[in-house]
Amino acid sequence: MLTYALTFAIACFALALILNLWRLATAPTMPDRILTVDTMVINIIALIVLYGAKAQSAVSFDAALLLAMTGFVSTVAFCKFLLRGGIIE
Amino acid sequence: MSLALIAALPFLGALTPALTQRFGRGIATATVALFSAAALLLILQHVPAIMAGQTITTQINWLPTLGLNANFRLDGLALLFALLILGIGLLIQIYARFYLDTSEPYARFLTYLMLFQGAMLGIVLSDNILLLLVFWEMTSLSSFLLIGFWSHLPKARQGARMALATTGAGGLAMIAGLLMLGHVAGGYDLSTILGERAAIQASPLYVPALLLILLGAFTKSAQFPFHYWLPHAMAAPTPVSAYLHSATMVKAGLFLLARLWPVLAGTPEWFWIVTSAGLITMSFAAGVALFKDDLKAILAYSTVSHLGLITFLLGLGTKAAATAAVFHILCHATFKAALFMLAGIVDHATHTRDIRALGGLRRAMPISFALASIATLSMAGIPPLNGFLSKEMMLEEAAHTAPWVIPVLATFAALLSVAYALRFLVYTFLGQAPAYAHAPHDPGAGLWLPPAILAALVVAIGLAPMAMAGWLVDAAASATTGEAVHAHIALWHGLQPPALWMSLAAVGGALVVLGLYPALRAAWDGAHKPDAKAMFDAGMGWLTKTATALTQGLHNGSLSRGFAVGLCSFLALGLYAYLSAPTLPGTRALTQISFAPVVAFGLLMTAALAATALHRKRLLALLLTGIVGLILSASFAYLSAPDLALTQITVEVVTIALMLLALNFLPKTTPRKTAGFRKLRDGGLAVAVGTGVAALAYTLMTREAMFPPISAFHLAQSLPGAGGHNAVNTIIVDFRGYDTYGEIIVLGIAALLIFALTESLLGTRWAVQPDHAAGDEGDAHPVMLQTATRLILPMAMLVGVYLFLRGHNEPGGGFVAGLVFAIGLVLQYIASGQDWAAARRRIPYHAMIGAGVLVASATGIGSFLAGRPFLTSNFTHGHLPPLKDFELATAALFDLGVFLCVLGAVMLALDALARLAKPQEGR
Amino acid sequence: MEVLIAIAIGTLTACGIYLMLRARTFPVILGLSLLSYAVNLFIFISGRIRLDAAPIIADGPYTDPLPQALVLTAIVISFGMTAVLVIMALGAYLTAGHDRIDTEDQHAEDQP
């Protein structure tokens, strides 16, 4: 049962990635695109965790943890760039 | 050992002039002479053994796997040459001491001279032909320095270049020839090669090897048509000419011919090539010498002629001819070195070397006249001097050789040499003295003594050939031919030998020629003669032009051009490899594929393609590249590489920060100005290479490894050998720790380079105002962001420490930990600014890099204490009650070094860029 | 899976090369990043693909750890390389006033 649930969840997040792509292509402004990439990071985190659960291995959870902790740094940097030009002032 | 020491002595001597020059030229000369004399004495000490037929050898293994050994041998032939090199070398040192002007850089001259002497001695003492090649090239280089010693003179520079280009090119050919020879003989030691005559001459490689070796020997020994460099090398100071161009360097080619005589000679190819080259050179150069007016030019062409004579004798391939050749090497060295020195003396005394402006010096310079008469008459082959003896032997051999043209040409050459020798003597010393600007007079003993010693030898050998030189000639000829030789050299053989009549004909003919000289000279001057220098210059010019065109065509400084040319060659080589060899069928089963990876890789490729298509919008392209990195990290996690995933995630973040910092300066868009053709060309090339790489990757992935990978060892030993469960980490910090050690040093250097470049950029005027992004909305340092990031910093550090500590057993390690720390710190820079962060920084990043490298080094050196090689790790199991059992490995300390270095390098690079971005006053 | 990865490597290579053949510094730097991705992935797959087999010693199977170790350091070094390239590009731009890489390349020369 859990296997089905995991497969379904993985499929959903994969679908979410496709939607991200759609949004990336059609987004009207740069901030929208940055937000899309941020969402993409979340989806990737979910996929890593789900695949780990499916394989019954916690080895790749660190990657998810690290992605969660540092993924937003790029977003912050991009936003700062758009707002201020320099990311370190 | 003794022979190696002998070979090393001149080189050691070459070091001394720099130290002794302050004590004056006398001391400097005495010091180097001491080294030459020591070498000479050590050689002489072996004479009795060599007379007894022994060969002295010394063996030192250098690169035995390549067949390159520092093996030396001293036999009769080597003895003859070593005595010439060191003996005449000593005389030259004395002569040069008095010859060179005080204003000249005398110490440098001595150093060059000793380098040359060492190289020359090395050639004749080498037992290994690869070692011989090394010394051979050294003679080319050191003679270049000596010929071009008066580098302020264009003629000297050109002459030196010409000599180097010619002998260097010949040396290259000879390398190939000797390698072939060693290949056929099955070894590169002369002791091996000399015993393989039958195998070498039967080999299909014999003719190519022979031609290549002869090319080397003929260029060095100035044989026609490579003779042209020698007259131009006369731009050298006279001591150099006397040394290099009479006794040593030009004889190196002959030495090689004699050395390899036992295995190469005796075939029709050898006979025809070597004999005709020698004969043509001998008569042609003698003819030219007759019409030269410069004293040194006459001697130069005379030298070429005599070298041709010796080559001719070696080419005949008989024992008696080889004996005559060896004897003439000795005789020629004595009288020719003396003559060069005397030409220098005349030049000093009269300030001219033009024979037409000289004359009547016999009264003003009686000593020089006496010495010159002896040497010149010997050169002409007049009895009872030594030149007569060897020339008689030559004519005797020629007389017995068919076809008839050989004895005729030999006699003709002898005739010419008598003529130019007499002209040399008569025009310089006899006749009416012109009005000299300064009254010429004999020089001091320092200048005339060296040629006097040689002239004494000329007479002594001529009068008592067997006593003076018989033993040496016997030994050298025996070593050359490989059989015991007992030469019988005498002044008078009776009336039967044809040589006597040929000599007489030569002398008579010479007198006739001199009588007709004005008419001949007019004809010579009127004749059209090819100018060797112009031809050489044209050839070199063509080579230079072609090389430049080729280089410009392949790489004209344009990055794109060079890159494209490189890619095309890769493509062509790959295609060739693919088409020329069969491809094994794929045996590895394909891995099951599922939906999510397809989507992810689809996203990756879309992002990459979009980044390429939209690269003009730089920020967007950067964002898209970021997506590629993100998905790649996830793929690493999916493909069983958690360590790579961690590293890629963190590197991605710092890379984006770096690129955004750079983009702050650079234009935000790329102008669209590229020609359509260029896009098409680049696109085609990119697609072709991409397809090739994809095919290669696919082929690789669907085949098993040809050989069991060494990583089986790493997996098996990770736990028992390195005390870690994480095989990737144990490889990095333990098995391949040396690589990592180099790696972090490179990273540190890169960071320091960035720092240095930033510093220099901060100090220069900028040509453009940086194109800062337009936006300046919102706060520079929003409070929300500041507060949040300050909370995140300790968490990031905690994660970093966690990843570091567990790295040996689970995914993590120093690299990732360093990057996580760096991200935490970068976040502070972004939120609160560079000033704020810099004010709170306690440890400079340079120090962090240095500390990292030091810690890693200390760990590596620590293993010396345990008596094991650098970077051997050790570990033990620790036990601390509330925790699980854990391993304590020295590798963890090494990993700490990695951590510090990575952290310092990343932060130094980003900090440098951030400082660059700060608004500067007055810019 | 192998097909997919091979195509991905090919695409990354092609994109990287195309960008590196551009005439401005920034696309070249981006191209180098893409090419590094491709090369790293290529080295990585020389250990062949094996799912759920991380080389953490427990109870096998394991994938080949050696290419992973190589790629790990390569990732970090390529950051260093990119950083050096970036500062060189910046220096060239700030001192020369433009960001063309081949000043003498006629094809790339901007016509005013």
Nearest to B442 by CA among B429, B460, B455: B429
Please indicate whether, in this complex, the C-beta atoms of A87 and B776 are within 8 angstroms of each other: no
- CB pair distance less than 8 Å for B776 and A78: no
Average pLDDT, chain B: 87
How far away is chain C from the Cα of A56, in angstroms, using its nearest Cα? 9
Q: What are phi and psi of B773, to 5 degrees?
A: -60, 145
List of chain C residues whose C-beta atoms are within 8 Å of the C-beta of residue B659? 29, 82, 86
Instruction: Please give the radius of gyration of chain C, using alpha carbons only, rounded to the nearest integer.
Output: 19
Classify residue B590 by its DSSP letter.
Answer: P
Q: Which of A10, A77, A83 is closest, CB to CB, to B596?
A: A10
Model confidence, pTM: 0.71
Residue C107: per-residue pLDDT: 45
Q: B235: which DSSP letter?
A: G
Q: In the prediction, which pLDDT does B797 show?
A: 92
**pLDDT value of position C82:** 92
Print the SS3 string covering B603-636: HHHHHHHHHHHCCCEHHHHHHHHHHHHHHHHHHH
Query: pLDDT tens track of chain C, all 112 residues?
Result: 889 999 999 999 999 999 999 888 899 999 999 999 999 999 999 988 888 888 888 877 888 999 999 999 999 999 999 999 999 999 888 888 888 887 554 444 443 3
pLDDT-derived band of residue B504, with 50, 70 and 90 as boundaries? confident
- The answer to whether the Cβ–Cβ distance between B670 and C26 falls below 8 Å is yes
What average pLDDT does this structure show over B598-609?
A: 93
The dihedral sign for the CA sequence B348, B354, B356, B362: positive
The per-residue pLDDT for B248 is 85
Among candidate residues B903, B882, B883, B741, the one with its CA nearest the CA of residue B815: B903
8 A C-beta contact, residue B183 and residue B189: no
Compare CB distances from B764 to C34, C51, C95 and report the shortest one's residue: C95
Between B866 and B355, where is the model more confident? B355
Higher pLDDT, B216 or B444: B216
Please judge whether B711 and C88 are an interchain contact, meaning their C-beta atoms are less than 8 angstroms apart. no
CA distance B749 to B909: 11
Nearest partner of B107 among B17, B13, B35, B33, judged by Cα? B17
For residue A41, the model assigns a pLDDT of 94
Separation of alpha carbons B299 and B278, rounded Å: 18
- Cβ atoms of B337 and B345 within 8 Å: the answer is no
CA triple B21-B22-B28, angle to 5 deg? 30
**Cβ contact, residue pair C54, A55, below 8 Å:** no
Q: Which of B561, B568, B616, B698 would you mutate first to test chain C, the one with the most C CBs within 10 A?
A: B698
Distance (Å, whole) CA B708 – CA B695: 23
Distance in Å, alpha carbon of C68 to nearest chain B alpha carbon: 6
Residue B920 confidence class, pLDDT cut points 50, 70, 90: low
**pLDDT of res. B888:** 67
Kindly tell me if the per-residue pLDDT of B261 is higher than 60: yes
Instruction: Please write down the HEC assignment for all residues of B535-561.
Output: HHHHHHHHHHHHHHHHHHHHCCCCHHH
Q: Cβ contact (<8 Å) for B662 and C81?
A: no
Q: Please report the pLDDT score of residue B674 as a whole number.
A: 66
CB B590 within 8 A of CB B703: no
Q: What is the pLDDT of residue A42?
A: 94
pLDDT value, residue B396: 84
pLDDT digits (tens, 9 = 90+) for A2-50: 889 999 999 999 999 999 999 999 989 999 999 999 999 999 999 999 9
What's the pLDDT score for residue B337? 92
In degrees rounded to 5, what are phi and psi of residue C51? -85, 155
How far apart are the C-alpha atoms of B791 and B793, rounded to whole Å? Answer: 6
How sure is the predictor about B658, in pLDDT bands with cuts at 50, 70 and 90? very high
pLDDT in the model for residue B770: 66
Instruction: Give me the DSSP letters along B331-388.
Output: HHHHHHHHHHHHHHHHHHHHS--BGGG---HHHH-HHHHHHHHHHHHHHHT-TTSHHH
CA distance A32 to chain C (A): 22
Average pLDDT score over residue span A83-87: 80
Distance CA B278, CA B314 (A): 9
Taking every pair of Cα atoms in chain A, the longest distance, rounded to a whole number of angstroms, is 53
pLDDT value, residue B208: 92
**Mean pLDDT calculated for residue range B674-695:** 89
Is pLDDT above 90 for B391?
Answer: no
- What pLDDT is recorded for position B506? 74
Q: Yes or no: say if B347 and B238 are a contact pair by the CB < 8 Å rule.
A: yes
| Contacting partners of chain B (3+ CB pairs under 8 A) | A, C
pLDDT of residue B737: 86
What b/e string do you get for B796-813 counting C-beta neighbours within 10 Å, with b at 16 or more? beebbebbbbbbbbbbbb
Report the distance separating Cα B895 and Cα B681, nearest Å: 47
**CA closest to B652 among chain A residues:** A74
Structure confidence at residue B104 as a pLDDT band (50, 70, 90): confident
pLDDT number for residue B64: 77
Chain A, window 26-85: residues with a beta carbon less than 8 angstroms from a chain B beta carbon: 30, 33-34, 37, 40-41, 44, 47-48, 51, 59-60, 62-67, 69-71, 73-74, 76-78, 80-85
Q: How far is CA B522 from CA B291, B509, B516, B621, in A?
A: 10, 19, 10, 82
Average pLDDT, integer, range B484-503: 73
Out of A15-29, B444-458, B710-724, B855-869, least confident range: B855-869
pLDDT, one tens digit per residue, over B442-491 is 888 888 999 999 999 999 988 888 888 888 888 888 888 888 888 777 77
CB pairs under 8 A between A and C: 7
Q: Give phi and psi for B68, each to the nearest 5.
A: -100, 110
Extract the tokens encoding B186.
Answer: 């099955």
pLDDT at C104: 53
Sort out which chain B residues have CB atoms less than 8 A from A17's CB and list them.
Answer: 596, 599-600, 603
- Give the helix/strand (H/E) hosting B58: strand B56-58
Cβ atoms < 10 Å from Cβ of B377: 22
Closest CB to A17: pick one of B603, B645, B661: B603
Task: Please report residues of C whose CB lies closer than 8 A to that of B561.
Answer: 102, 105
Interface check C58 vs B, CB under 8 A: yes
Give the A:B interface size as CB pairs under 8 Å.
167
Rg (C-alpha) for chain B, rounded Å, is 38
For residue A73, which of B908, B795, B916 has the smallest C-alpha distance?
B795
The verdict on A86 touching B (C-beta cutoff 8 Å) is yes
**pLDDT value, residue C105:** 47
Contacts of B406 (CB under 8 A, 6+ apart): B275, B279, B398
Which pLDDT value is given to residue B384? Answer: 82
The verdict on a CB contact (< 8 Å) between B834 and A40 is no
Q: Token pair for residue B476? A: 């050298």
What mean pLDDT comes out for the span B307-318?
90
Give yes or no for B756 touching C (CB within 8 A).
no
CA gap B519, B898 in Å, rounded: 88
Rounded Cα–Cα distance for residues C32 and C38 (Å): 10
Q: Looking at residue C108, what is its pLDDT?
A: 44
Given B606, B653, B803, which is nearest A73 (Cβ)?
B653
Write the DSSP symbol of residue B153: S
pLDDT at position C106 = 45
Q: Is the pLDDT of residue B125 over 90?
A: yes
Q: Does C52 touch chain A (CB under 8 A)?
A: yes
Of B451, B513, B19, B533, nearest to B247 by C-alpha is B451
Say which residue, B43 or B519, is predicted with more confidence.
B43
Question: Is C54 near chain A, with CB under 8 Å?
Answer: yes
